[in-house]
Amino acid sequence: MNDIFNIGLTGLTAFQTAMNITSQNIANVQTPNYSRRQVNLQEGLFGTGVNVGSINRIYDASTSANLQNCTSNFSASNNLLTGLNTLEPLLDNDSNNTAKYINDTIASLQQLNTDTSSIQGRTLYLNQLSAMTTQFQSINAQILTQQQTINTQLSSVAQDANSVLVSIAHINDQIANSPATTDISSLLDQREQLVQGLAKYLNFTAANDSNNILSISLNNGLQLVGGNQAVTFEMVPDTSYPTNLDIAIDNGSTSVPLNSFVNGGEVAGLLTFRQSLNLAAQGMGRLSLAVAGSINAQNQLGMDYNGNLGADIFTDINNPVSLTNRVIPNTGNTGTANLTVNVNDLTQLTTSDYQLQFKTATTYTLTRIADNTVVSSGSVGTLPQAISADGITINLNSGAVAAGDQFIISPTRGAINNMNMTISDPKLLALGFPVAGVATTGLGSDGTIEITAMTDTTTSAFSTPKQLNPPLKVVFLSPTSYQIQNANTNAVMEGPITYNPQAGTNVFPTPGGYDPGYRVTISGSTIKTGDVFNIEYNNNGNSDNRNGLAIANLYSQGMLDQGTSNYIQAFNLVSGAVSQQTNAIQTQYDSNQILKEQAQNLFEQVSGVDTQEETVDLMRDQEAYQASAQILQTAKSVFDDVIQMLRS
Amino acid sequence: MRVPTVTQFQEQSEVMSAQMLQIQALQQKAETGTKLQNSSDDPVLASQIKAVKDYIQSLGNFDTNGKLAQNRYSLFSNSLQSAIGIMEQVRELTQSAQSDTLNNDDRNNIANELQSDLDQLVAIANTQDGNGSYIYSGYSTNTPPYVQQSGQYVYQGGYDSTSVYISPSITTPYNQSGFDVFGAIDTGNGSFTITAPGTNTGTATTSAGSVVSEATYVQDTYTISYVTNSSGQLAYQIVGASSGQVVPAPPATVPADAPAFVADSDVTFNGLTVSVAGLPNVGDSFQITPSTSQNMFNTLQQMITTLRTPINTPTETAAFHQNMTQSSAALYEVSDHLRSFLSQVGSNAAQIDSQVNTNDETITNQKIILGQLADVDMTEVTSSLMQQNIELQATQEIYIKIQETLFQLLRNSTL
Query: What is the pLDDT at residue A253?
Result: 78
For residue range A316-349, list pLDDT tens digits in order. Answer: 999 999 999 999 999 889 999 999 999 999 999 9
Q: Percentage helix, strand, coil, to 5, in chain A? A: 45, 20, 35
For residue range A459-494, list pLDDT tens digits in order. Answer: 999 999 999 999 999 999 999 999 999 999 999 999
CA dist A107 → A126, A344, B61, B105 (Å): 12, 28, 6, 60
Terminal CA-CA length for chain B? 32
Query: What is the pLDDT at residue A377?
Result: 94
Q: How many residues are recorded in chain B?
A: 415
Q: Is B163 touching A (CB cutoff 8 A)?
A: yes
For residue range B256-266, list pLDDT tens digits in order. Answer: 888 999 888 88
For residue range A108-153, list pLDDT tens digits in order. Answer: 999 899 888 889 999 999 999 999 999 999 999 999 999 999 999 9
- Cross-chain CB nearest to A609 (options B5, B10, B68): B5
For residue B205, the number of C-alpha atoms closer than 13 Å in the C-beta half-sphere is 16
Q: Is B62 touching A (CB cutoff 8 A)?
A: yes
Percentage of chain A surpassing pLDDT 90? 72
Alpha-carbon distance B291 to B302, whole Å? 16
Tell if the CB–CB gap between A543 and B46 is shorter than 8 Å. Answer: no
- Cross-chain CB nearest to B291 (options A443, A575, A600): A443
Q: Is A580 touching B (CB cutoff 8 A)?
A: yes
DSSP collapsed to 3 states, A537-555: ECCCCCCCCHHHHHHHHHH
Alpha-carbon distance B60 to A108, whole Å? 12
Q: Residue range B334-343: average pLDDT?
A: 90
Q: In whole numbers, what is the pLDDT of chain B averaged over residues?
A: 88
Nearest to A521 by CA among A510, A505, A536, A535: A505
Alpha-carbon distance A11 to A8, whole Å? 5
Alpha-carbon distance A80 to A272, whole Å? 7
Burial class for B255, CB neighbours closer than 10 Å (0-12, 13-18, 19+): middle
Q: Which residues share a beta bridge with B210?
A: B273
pTM, full prediction: 0.85
Task: State whether residue A338 is helix, strand or coil.
Answer: strand
Pairing of the two strands B192-195 and B205-206 = unpaired
Chain B neighbors of A443, CB-CB under 8 A: 186, 190-191, 219, 290-291
Classify the phi-psi angles of B283: left when phi > 0, otherwise alpha if psi is within -120 to 50, otherwise beta.
Answer: left
- Contact (CB, 8 A) for A237 and A330: no
Query: What is the pLDDT at residue A2?
Result: 65
Nearest to A192 by CA among A26, A57, A75: A57
Q: What is the ipTM of this complex?
A: 0.77
Q: Is A604 touching B (CB cutoff 8 A)?
A: yes
- Cross-chain CB nearest to B139 (options A111, A538, A552): A538
B97, pLDDT greater than 70: yes
Shortest Cα distance, chain B CAs vs residue A242, angstroms: 32
Distance from chain centroid for Cα B387: 62
Alpha-carbon distance A219 to A481, whole Å? 80
Percentage of chain B surpassing pLDDT 70? 98
Tell if the CB–CB gap between B47 and A544 is shorter than 8 Å. Answer: no
Give the model's confidence band at B292: pLDDT under 50 very low, under 70 low, under 90 confident, else very high.
Answer: confident
Give the model's confidence band at B114: pLDDT under 50 very low, under 70 low, under 90 confident, else very high.
Answer: very high
B90, pLDDT greater than 90: yes
Q: Residue range A258-280: average pLDDT?
A: 94
Tell if the CB–CB gap between A111 and B407 is shorter than 8 Å. Answer: no
Q: What is the DSSP letter of B186?
A: E
Q: Residue range B303-318: average pLDDT?
A: 90
- Contact (CB, 8 A) for A614 and A37: no
Tell if the CB–CB gap between A572 and B50 is shorter than 8 Å. Answer: yes
Query: What is the pLDDT at residue A65?
Result: 93
Tell if the CB–CB gap between B158 and A543 is shorter than 8 Å. Answer: yes
Query: What is the pLDDT at residue B10?
Result: 79
Query: What is the pLDDT at residue B158?
Result: 83
For residue range B357-414, list pLDDT tens digits in order. Answer: 999 999 999 999 999 998 988 888 899 999 989 988 988 888 887 777 666 777 776 6
Chain B neighbors of A600, CB-CB under 8 A: 7, 10
Query: What is the pLDDT at residue B414?
Result: 60
Q: Residue range A414-424: average pLDDT?
A: 92
Chain A, 37 to 96: residues with Cβ < 8 Å from chain B are: 84, 88-89, 92
Chain A, 116 to 175: residues with Cβ < 8 Å from chain B are: 116-118
For residue range B43-55, list pLDDT tens digits in order. Answer: 889 889 988 988 8
Burial class for B102, CB neighbours closer than 10 Å (0-12, 13-18, 19+): middle
Of B42, B50, B174, B410, which to mutate for an interface test with A (greatest number of A Cβ within 10 Å)? B50
A11, pLDDT greater than 70: yes
Q: In whole numbers, what is the pLDDT of chain A averaged over residues?
A: 92
